[in-house]
Every structure is written in structure tokens, then in C-alpha cells.
Amino acid sequence: MATASTELPNPSRLSVRQLTKSFPGVRALSGVDLDVRAGEVVAVIGENGAGKSTLMKILAGVQTQDEGEILWDGHPVWFANTRQAMKQGLGLIHQELNLCDNLNVAENLFLGNYPGRGGWINFWSMYRRARQSLEKVGLKVSPRLPLSALSLGQQQMVEIAKALSIDAKVLIFDEPTSSLSNAEAEALFRLIEELKSRGVAIVYISHRLAEIMRLADRVFVLRDGQNAGMLQRAEITHDRMVQLMIGRDVSKYYVRRSNVVGDEVLRVEDLRTNAWPQHSIRFQVRRGELVGIAGLVGAGRSELLRTIFGIDRAVSGNVVVSGESLKRHSPQLAMEAGLGFVPEDRKKEGLILESTIVRNVGLAGLLRNAHWGGWLNRGKEIADTRQAMNDMRIKTPSPWQLVKYLSGGNQQKVVMGKWLALSPQVLLMDEPTRGVDIGAKQEIYQLMEGLAAEGRGVLFASSELEEIIGIADRVLVMHEGRLAGEVSGDQITEQAIMQLAIGGSL
């Protein structure tokens, strides 16, 4: 522990002692201690795979520990399932969304807990309460909308609203901001501060250290499933946290070398997306270039990338890769032409969760690894996978591990590895570093840079301005479905990007 504990007036609301949990081949937690008091925000940080989510799932009754105990107001408790935990007043906002796509917003909010009596659902009351819950988190959508109509960030807010619908005494947030816009995140921070002032005990997990500095009263650091230290409010600094997490210094920002920019490798001509058919979009990306797409949430960045890759239907327009125009808009043709795509929602589009890492990395490489006889080169597939696991430091016992058992950040690395194995001419990336730890972030930036240095193009959307400013050669800024402007070189400043993003001009 970093400091001697000072006696504080209020005792722990929730504490764990010597918690241990193993999975086949992995010791996820060993002898972990943690405690949180009423009216306190405790942050838990650590690299991808350090054991954060596992610890939270055990607290919330989703999983069971092998050893160790959990105390509630000093008394041992054990939750057999999340329902029991919620009854006691403990809510968990999952890292990976836990909602049903085919239900509407209100149904998701009250799933398993519908207002009503004797098996009848009182719809009037359900929608009224749903509106109140949504209002609490500042989400302005109709509770009757199907969940699938919401952006990832909005879905995240529904998940939060759901956790708040209980009379919570302890709330656990597992990377709540990874898919939120700045404004949504800001609303969440205010909400957390309000909950804190009402005496709720809060456990907060994030890879964004600036958030931790803003919110946390204390920070617990996990490393390889063990306590690596605890920081009191006054000791919380960026460098101190990084050091405890990974035991080495990592610079805060990535500073790019600039590459020789070559010929055009991607051209988008008069593209009209289904979401914003009134705007025609045109731009190009050259070899050796890292082009960022900035914009507020809902500005149409994801739609643009998805339409270029052929997942979403284009209303009209042309995509030209290395001088050849795609005949149709389809992911298959896009891949054959040399495009790769790292999607925003890895769970839905990036990965086959029920399959192994080898299969997942191999999938995108299918084209490349198939012999002319049509046989798959298994050896190559496994070599590619090992390479990816090595490059990206994917933490897991073997390439045959099922992807669903990887930690969130490690799953993101598998998606990256899958596309790097294909070495596309142009890699399209939507939020490439979502949920990855600070060390792996730098590695992903280096891999992007490596692609550019090999004369390939990279086009990436990100809501982290820092990231865009740090690594892009050129930034396309979107506003309500159109390209509002472009900045490059020294012009790339937060001010210029924001100005364009809100619809202004430079």
C-alpha cells in the first residue's frame, strides 16, 4: 500500500478481503482487497486483463469467487445473482452493454422487474417511470423507441438509467465513458457527483486517467490480478497511476513522425449515406497518410465509415481503392479491393465471440491465407495469430482461447490484430482505442503509424480529440452528416476542430 491508512469517520459500506478467482489457465484475481465508503468515489485502474471486471462481477453476484469474503456494512454477504445484489442496493453498469436489441427502451429499463401486479404489466406506469429514469440521466429519447435505434452512447445511458432505477447504495461503473460523447460524459460526471453527495458509494473503472483525477477520492490499482497500490486523493497524479499500473513510464501523448505522403490510395466521390442522403461527401486519402475524422456524436462519422466499407447501403456515390472503383458496395468487395474495417461495436461486428482467437484473426486473413487450391494455410493462420498476440500484447493463455473469455480491451486488440494480419491498403477504424489501456494505446498508435510508413492509408474516427490531434496528419471534421471542413499540419488544433464540429467556419 502506498500510504498508511488514516482513520476516517465513516466505515466501509462495502469491502472485499483476500478475493481469489481462477479461470482455466488464468488466475484473474489473487488475494485482492478493496473497500468503499458511503459518499466516496473509489476508482479501480489497471491494464487490460488486470482483473477489474472480474472483481466487479463477483461483487454484483454475476460470478462467484473461489476464496475470500465480501462485507456489507461489516457483515459478510453473498449474492447468488444480480437480482439479489440489486435488492441489497448494489447496481453494476457493465463494461459490455447488457441490453436487448429487440426490445424498446422502457422494456430494457424494467426487464425482469416490470411495474404491475399479478403477472399484468402496467404499461402506462412503465412508460411514465421510464421517462423519469431517462430524464435523470439527461437522455432525450422516447422510451418507446427500439433500443437498436439508439447510438452506442445512448444505449450506455440507458444502461446507467437502469442501474439508477433501484434505490442504490453502491454503484459500480465499469468503463462507462468509453462510448459516450463529451457532453454525455459530462452529464454522467455531474450525476456521479450528485449521487456521491447523497451518500452513495461509487466504484469507478476507467482507462481515462483524466476522469479518474477529476472524480476519485481514492484509487486502487490492480496488476495481474493483485493489489498493486492505493492512492489517496492528494497522491493521485497521472504519472503515479501509470507507474503503479504498468511499472514503467509511458509518455502521455504520442508524437508522430511524419511520413512521405504518396499517391492517392482511397477516393470517395459524391458519397451519400443512407443516414444523411442530402449531403454529398468527397475526399481522398493518400499513401502514408493518417487521416482523422472528428465531429460531435451523431455527426455521421460511423455512418460514413460503414458506408465506405459497404456495411450500410450507399444512396449514391463511388469508392475508389488504389485507382479501382468498387463495382458494388459490399464488405466482401471492399475487402478484396484492399479495405479493412475496425468497427465501433466490436461485440456486434468485429468478432465472433463464441470462436477462438485464431479463428477470429484468421477470418479476415482468409483471402490471403487460402492457397490457390482453395485450402486454408493453417500454419500461416496460427503464425499470424501469434504475431498479432505478440504485437498487441494480447493477454491470454493460448491462441485457442475463446474470444468471449478475453477482457474487453484484449478483445479490441484481437479486432485490430485480425485486420493487421490482412495488411489492407487502407484501414478504416472507428474508435480504434476504445477501452484499451494506456500502454496498448501507444502500441495501437505505433501499428497505425507502421501501416502508414509502409505506404498504406489509415482513416480513423475518434471522439478523443487528444488522439486525433496527436496522430493525424489531416483531419476531416463532420457536422450533421456533412464534411464541414478539413485541417492539416499546424492548423490541427482543438479550437479549429471544435469550431468546425459545431458548424462554424474557420
Residue found under cell 479518474:
212
Pattern of binders to ligand ATP over 218-237, x per CB under 6 A? --------------------
- Per-residue burial over 85-95, b = 16 or more CB atoms within 10 Å of its CB, e = otherwise: bbebbbbbbbb
Q: Does 405 bind ligand ATP (CB under 6 A)?
A: yes
Q: Does 143 bind Mg ion (CB under 5 A)?
A: no
Indicate which single residue of 288, 365, 408, 481 sits in contact with ligand ATP (rule: CB under 6 A).
408
Q: Does 78 bind ligand ATP (CB under 6 A)?
A: no
* Cell numbers found for residue 91: 447496481
Of the listed pieces 109-117, 221-229, 356-364, 405-413, which binds Mg ion according to CB under 5 A?
405-413
Q: At a CB cut-off of 8 Å and minimum separation 6, what does 390 contact?
A: none
What is the 8-class DSSP label of residue 489?
G
Minimum Å gap between C-beta 350 and ligand ATP is: 15
In terms of CB distance, is 193 or 224 closer to ligand ATP? Answer: 224
SS3 34: strand
- Residue 410 CB: number of other CB atoms within 10 A? 25
The option from ligand ATP, Mg ion, none interacting with 399 (CB < 5 to 8 A, set by class) reads none
Q: Does 176 bind ligand ATP (CB under 6 A)?
A: no
How many residues line the site for ligand ATP (CB under 6 A)?
21
Half-sphere exposure of 464 (CA within 13 A, CB side): 22
Q: Does 26 bind ligand ATP (CB under 6 A)?
A: yes
Q: Does 474 bind ligand ATP (CB under 6 A)?
A: no
Pairing of strands 290-295, 474-479: parallel
Indicate which single residue of 154, 396, 425, 433 sits in contact with ligand ATP (rule: CB under 6 A).
396
Q: Does 408 bind Mg ion (CB under 5 A)?
A: yes
Residue 103's closest CA among 175, 57, 158? 158
Residue found under cell 454484483:
60
Of the listed pieces 9-17, 161-169, 246-254, 403-411, which binds ligand ATP according to CB under 6 A?
403-411
Minimum Å gap between C-beta 34 and ligand ATP is: 13
SS3 142: coil
Beta-ladder partners of 272: 316
Minimum Å gap between C-beta 411 and Mg ion is: 10
- Contact predicate 254/72, CB 8 Å: no
* H/E element, 414: helix 408-421
The option from Mg ion, ligand ATP, none interacting with 206 (CB < 5 to 8 A, set by class) reads none
Minimum Å gap between C-beta 251 and ligand ATP is: 20
Maximal CA-CA distance, the chain: 74
Give the residues lining the site for ligand ATP (CB under 6 A).
Answer: 23, 26, 28, 46, 48-54, 95, 395-396, 405-410, 437
Give the residues lining the site for Mg ion (CB under 5 A).
Answer: 52-53, 95, 407-408
